[in-house]
Amino acid sequence: MNPAQPPTLRQQIVQFIGEIQNELRNFKIPKEYTTKNHLLNISGRFSGIFNELRGFSEGMTSFSNEINEASSQR
């Protein structure tokens, strides 16, 4: 992708999914959760996952509008 060009719709969707997958991979890494800091880390990871999912759902609304507009022009 040329840096001067905005990301395509497909690239934006792939990025959203990649960010969600990254959060899930981070959460899956086993650690010993024995301290308050470890528990806060778990909480932060859940927050990150839910924030990514919220962003994805909000993004999909605008993506679907773009897809509908593009398909109606064909």
Domain count, the chain: 1
- 49 part of a folded domain: yes
**Domain range holding 16?**
9-73
Query: Does residue 72 register a pLDDT over 60?
Result: yes
Query: Does residue 36 register a pLDDT over 70?
Result: no
pTM over 0.75: no
- 50 part of a folded domain: yes
- 38 part of a folded domain: yes
Cβ contact 39:31 at 8 Å: no
Q: Residue 8 — very low, low, confident or very high, per pLDDT cuts 50/70/90? A: confident
- 3 part of a folded domain: no
- 2 part of a folded domain: no
- 54 part of a folded domain: yes
- 16 part of a folded domain: yes
| Residue 50, number of CB atoms within 10 A of its CB | 12
Spatial separation of the C-alpha atoms in residues 10 and 4, rounded to whole Å: 17
DSSP-assigned letters across all residues of 1-28 = --TTSPPPHHHHHHHHHHHHHHHHHHHH
